[in-house]
Chain A
Amino acid sequence: MKHRTFFWFILPTLSAMILFIALPIVSVFIQSLFVAHEQVLVVSESCGPFGCTPTTSVDLEATAKLQEERPLGQFNGLGTYTNRSHLAFAEVGEAWASSASMGEFFSKVYNLPFYSALTFTLAYTAIVTPLVLVLGMAIAVGVNNLPNMLKGLAIFISLLPFLVTPLVGSLILFWMVDSDGVIGATIQNIFNDPTLSLKASTALTWIMLMFYGVWHTLPFSFITFYAGLQTVPEDTMEAAQIDGATKWQRMIHVIVPHLAPLVSFVTLMMIMDNFRVFEPIVSFKAEAHAQSLSWIIYNDLRESGNPLYGSAGATSLITIILVVILMTPVLIRTWRDFTRKSH
C-alpha cells in the first residue's frame, strides 16, 4: 500500500484515538500538575437550631478573584506525584533513615496509602493472571474432549460467571460469605469457631477477593482458548498420534505452541483487567483490608465531598505507566513473533 493511501485509510481511526485516548490523558496529566487555589478563610459566627458558634468559612469573593487570575489553580509541578498520597519520596526516605531493619522499613512504607494499594494490586495481578490462564486452558481442553451432546451445556455453564455484572456478582458472594450466609456459616462449622469471619481477617479477605477474581474472569480465558482449540490442525495431531505421542505430550508440544499467540493475548488482557481491580473491593466493603490503585482514584473523587482531581489524575497516570511496564515483556514477545512471521 502506498504511504499516501495508507494515511487516508488510517486517518479516521487515528483521529478517534487522538480525540478519545490521547487528548484525555494529556488533559489529566496537565490537571495533575496543579492544585487548588488558596482558600481564603474568614472567621464568622454561625447559628442554627443548636445554638451559635464562631466558625470559619470560605471568603468566596477573594477566592473567586484568585480563580479568575489563574483558572487552572496553583502550579505544583510534580508535587502531587511525590506527596504522601502517592510516591511519598519524603516519607520513604525518612522511613529508610529511621528504620533499624528491612522489616521495619517495609512496614513503614506499607503504612503509606499508595504503597499498600500497590502491594495489593500487584499481588492480585500476579496471582489471578496465571491462575486464570492455566485453569482457563484446562477447562477449555476438558470441554473440548466432552461428547458433542454435552458440549453446549458445558460451555453455557462455564460462561455463567461472566454474564453476571461484577458489582452484582461480588455482592452475591459478599452475602454468602457473611457469618450468617451459606459459605460463612459452613466455614465456621468446619473449623468449629463461631468467631471466624472471612471479612474480619486481612489474609482471608485477600484470598476471597482473589478467588472472586479468578471465578469471574475464568470464562473469558476459557472461551478464547476453546475457540483456539477448534483451529488446531487435525493432520498435525494425527501425525503426533501415529508417532506415539501421549495425550500430555500432544498437549505440550502441539496444542500449547499453536495457542501461543492466544496466550499472549489473554495475558495482556488479564494484566490490564486485573490491574484495575475495583468492584469487588467496593462490594465486599474490603477497604479496611485491601485497597487497589483504582479504588484510591475513586476515593479521591468521591469521599471527601471536595474532589481531589489532581490527586486522582496523578494516581491514574502512575497506574497507566505501571500497566505499560507490566505488559512490556508480553508486548516485546508479540512484536518479535510478528516481525519473525513477516519475513
Chain B
Amino acid sequence: MFLKNLATATAFVGLMGTAAYAANCGPEGQSIRILASDFPAIHAVAGTAESNCAAGASEFSTNHTTEARQIMNAALTPNPAEYSSVILANATLTQLMNDGLVRPLNDLVEKYGENISPNLLITIDGNVMAVAFMANSQHLFSRKDILEQAGFEGIPATYEEVLEAAAMIREAGIMEHPIVMNLQTGWNVGEVFNMIYLGHGGEFFEPGSAEPAVNNEKGLAALEVMKSLAEYAHPDHLTHASNETQGLWESGQAALGVMWGSRGSPILDDEGSTEEVTSNTVLSAAPTVGGGSIPSATLWWDGIAISSNVSDEEAEATFAALVSALTPDMVAANNDDAVWLLDGFQPGPAAAGVAQTAQGGAKPYPMIPQMGLLHAALGAELADFLKGDESAEQALADVEAAYRTSAKEAGFLQ
C-alpha cells in the first residue's frame, strides 16, 4: 500500500505542477502557534506554512525543540493553550489524547482537505485526530565493501544473517564490533525490544485490556536476539543513541547498523564522513527474525494535530496554514529530508530502507494509551539482562511487575 501511494504520488506531480496554487489560509487575523520537534522535515513543513500564511495571521510562531514530547501535555492543558498545534507522532498522539488535549478534525478536513489523501488521516473511532505527512522507521544499514571482504554474499535479510555476517567480519579480523544499535538504557533499549518482539509476532497487551503480555516465548526469543546482537556491538552500547551510532557509522567503525530512517540522509550526504563509507553504505529493509515474514521494526508517522483548548477560529486558521504546506512544491524542495507520504515524493537512496520496511508489512508503533508506561518499564528493566546480571525470564518478570506498579498508579489497572 505504501509503495502504491508513492506511485500515485509521482503520477500526480505533473498535474499539480501545472496548476497555479494559491494558499487557502482560513480566517484572517488569528494567532498561529506551533510546537514541533527539531528536524529538517518539520522545519520544512512549518516554514512553508509560515511563508504561505503568516501575512494574514496576527501572530505566527514556531517552537522547534527536542523537548517537545516532554512539554506538550503541560503546554496544551491551560485554556487557552500555549500552542494551537503540535506536530506529533504515533506515541505522542496517544499521550495527548489520553488527556483530551487534541480536537477531532473531521469538519476541518472536509473544508481544507483537498490536498490530503484519505490514507493520511489518523482516525480513531471515526474521528480524525491527526493528519500524517511523513513516515519513519528503523531499518538496516550495511557496508557492502566490508561484507564482501568478509565473504558474506549480498545484504542480510534476517537477524540470523546479520549475526552470521557479524561473526564473519569479526573472524576475518576486520572489526571487533561490527554492529551498531541504539541500545541506550531507557527509551531506546525499550524500542529495540519493541521492534524485535513485533518481528516475532508478539502482542504487548491482552486484547482489549491493559494487562501486559510480554513475558512469553516471543519475549524471551526477542531478548536472546538482543543479547546476541549486543555481543557484537561496541562495549559502550548501553549509552548509545542515534547521535552516537551515526557517529560510529560515519567514522567507519561499524559495518551493520539498525538505525532510524531519518539518519539515512545525514549519513549518505557528503558531510561528516568519508567517500569510502558513504559510497558503500546500503540502506535496506529491517531484518526479519525467528522465521517471521515481516521486518522487525516499528513504523512511525509524523503529523499535524490541533489543540482542544483554543478558539475554533484559531484552530481553523492553524489547520489551514499547516495543510497549505503539504504540497508537491514543498516536497520537491525538501525531497531528501524525509520519507514523505505526500504527493510528489521521489524516493531516493536515503528513503530506500524505510520504503522497503513499510512495504514488507512492518507493524506501526502501537497507539495504545498505556503503551508509554510499558515502554518505560522495558527501558528501565532490560539493562540488567543485557549486562548479564540476570536471566531473560527474570528481566521480563521485572518488566511486567514495574509496568503493573505504574499502570496502577496511572489508573489503567486496578
Residue ranges of A at the interface with B (Cβ–Cβ < 8 Å): 35-39, 41-51, 53, 55-58, 60, 64, 73-74, 80, 83-85, 91, 111, 113, 178-179, 194-195, 197, 199-200, 202, 284-289, 299, 302-306, 308, 310-311
- A288/B408 in contact, CB under 8 A: no
- B120/A46 in contact, CB under 8 A: no
- B122/A46 in contact, CB under 8 A: yes
Q: Is B147 in the interface zone, CB < 8 Å from A?
A: no
Which 6 pairs across A and B sit closest by C-beta, in order of nearness? Answer: A44-B125, A36-B411, A305-B372, A288-B383, A285-B239, A288-B185
25 contacts between A and B (CB under 8 A): A35-B409, A39-B369, A44-B125, A46-B122, A46-B123, A48-B121, A50-B299, A56-B368, A58-B97, A85-B405, A85-B406, A113-B402, A179-B234, A179-B235, A287-B185, A288-B238, A288-B383, A289-B238, A303-B186, A303-B380, A304-B375, A305-B69, A306-B372, A308-B406, A308-B410
Give CA–CA (A285, B187) in the complex, Å: 12
Chain B 224-244 near chain A by CB (<8 Å), digits 1 or 0: 000000000011111100000
Give CA–CA (A310, B406) in the complex, Å: 10
Contact among B73, B364, B401 with A84 in the assembled complex (CB-CB below 8 Å): B401
- B387/A288 in contact, CB under 8 A: yes
A35 and B411 in contact, given A49-B120, A305-B69 (Cβ under 8 angstroms): yes
Q: Is B2 in the interface zone, CB < 8 Å from A?
A: yes
Chain A residues with CB below 8 A from B401, complex form: 84, 91
Give CA–CA (A37, B406) in the complex, Å: 13
- B185/A305 in contact, CB under 8 A: no
Give CA–CA (A49, B355) in the complex, Å: 13
Question: What is the minimal beta-carbon distance from A288 to any residue of chain B, in angstroms?
Answer: 4
- B125/A45 in contact, CB under 8 A: yes
Q: Is B366 in the interface zone, CB < 8 Å from A?
A: yes
Give CA–CA (A179, B390) in the complex, Å: 26
Q: Is B19 in the interface zone, CB < 8 Å from A?
A: no
Of chain A, the residue at the smallest CB distance from B363 is: A50
Known: A49-B132, A50-B301, A285-B239. 10 other contacts (CB 8 A): A36-B411, A38-B411, A47-B122, A48-B123, A178-B236, A197-B236, A200-B238, A287-B380, A287-B383, A302-B70
- B124/A74 in contact, CB under 8 A: no
Q: Is B398 in the interface zone, CB < 8 Å from A?
A: yes
Question: What is the minimal beta-carbon distance from A206 to any residue of chain B, in angstroms?
Answer: 13
A56 and B208 in contact, given A195-B176, A305-B372 (Cβ under 8 angstroms): yes
- A299/B380 in contact, CB under 8 A: yes
Chain A residues with CB below 8 A from B287, complex form: none
Contact among B1, B95, B299 with A305 in the assembled complex (CB-CB below 8 Å): B95
Interface residues of B in 136-190 (CB under 8 A from A): 176, 184-187
Chain B residues with CB below 8 A from A304, complex form: 372-373, 375-376, 406, 410
Of chain A, the residue at the smallest CB distance from B383 is: A288
Q: Is B367 in the interface zone, CB < 8 Å from A?
A: yes
- B384/A306 in contact, CB under 8 A: no
Chain B residues with CB below 8 A from A36, complex form: 409-411
Question: What is the minimal beta-carbon distance from A326 to any residue of chain B, in angstroms?
Answer: 26
Chain B 192-219 near chain A by CB (<8 Å), digits 1 or 0: 0000000000000100111000000000
Question: What is the minimal beta-carbon distance from B1 to any residue of chain A, in angstroms?
Answer: 7
Of chain B, the residue at the smallest CB distance from A305 is: B372
- B301/A49 in contact, CB under 8 A: yes
A-B pair number, CB within 8 angstroms: 176
Contact among A44, A56, A85, A197 with B235 in the assembled complex (CB-CB below 8 Å): A197
- A306/B410 in contact, CB under 8 A: yes
A49 and B236 in contact, given A111-B390, A288-B383, A303-B379 (Cβ under 8 angstroms): no
Chain A residues with CB below 8 A from B78, complex form: none
- The number of chain B residues with a CB under 8 A from chain A is 73
Q: Which of A49, A84, A85 has the most CB of B within 10 A?
A: A49
Give CA–CA (A337, B56) in the complex, Å: 72
Chain A residues with CB below 8 A from B368, complex form: 55-56
Chain A residues with CB below 8 A from B5, complex form: 49
Chain B 378-396 near chain A by CB (<8 Å), digits 1 or 0: 0110011011001000100
- A179/B98 in contact, CB under 8 A: no
- B411/A39 in contact, CB under 8 A: yes
Chain A residues with CB below 8 A from B100, complex form: 60, 64
Give CA–CA (A26, B235) in the complex, Å: 45
- B122/A48 in contact, CB under 8 A: yes
Chain B residues with CB below 8 A from A74, complex form: 411
Q: Is B350 in the interface zone, CB < 8 Å from A?
A: no
Contact among B73, B92, B119, B363 with A49 in the assembled complex (CB-CB below 8 Å): B119
Chain B residues with CB below 8 A from A49, complex form: 2, 5, 119-120, 132, 135, 301, 341
- A111/B367 in contact, CB under 8 A: no
Of chain B, the residue at the smallest CB distance from A48 is: B122
Chain A residues with CB below 8 A from B405, complex form: 83-85
Chain B residues with CB below 8 A from A302, complex form: 70
Contact among B94, B95, B185 with A285 in the assembled complex (CB-CB below 8 Å): B185
Q: Is B331 in the interface zone, CB < 8 Å from A?
A: no
Chain A residues with CB below 8 A from B176, complex form: 194-195
Of chain A, the residue at the smallest CB distance from B371 is: A305
Give CA–CA (A308, B73) in the complex, Å: 13
Contact among B97, B235, B408 with A57 in the assembled complex (CB-CB below 8 Å): B97
Question: What is the minimal beta-carbon distance from B333 to any residue of chain A, in angstroms?
Answer: 22
- A285/B1 in contact, CB under 8 A: no
Of chain A, the residue at the smallest CB distance from B301 is: A49
Q: Which of B238, B367, B376, B410 has the most CB of A within 10 A?
A: B410
Of chain A, the residue at the smallest CB distance from B187 is: A303
Question: What is the minimal beta-carbon distance from B316 to any residue of chain A, in angstroms?
Answer: 22
- B185/A58 in contact, CB under 8 A: no
- A111/B398 in contact, CB under 8 A: yes
Give CA–CA (A288, B235) in the complex, Å: 13
Chain B residues with CB below 8 A from A43, complex form: 208
Give CA–CA (A39, B411) in the complex, Å: 5
Chain A residues with CB below 8 A from B379, complex form: 303
- A46/B390 in contact, CB under 8 A: no
- A46/B406 in contact, CB under 8 A: no
Chain B residues with CB below 8 A from A113, complex form: 380, 402
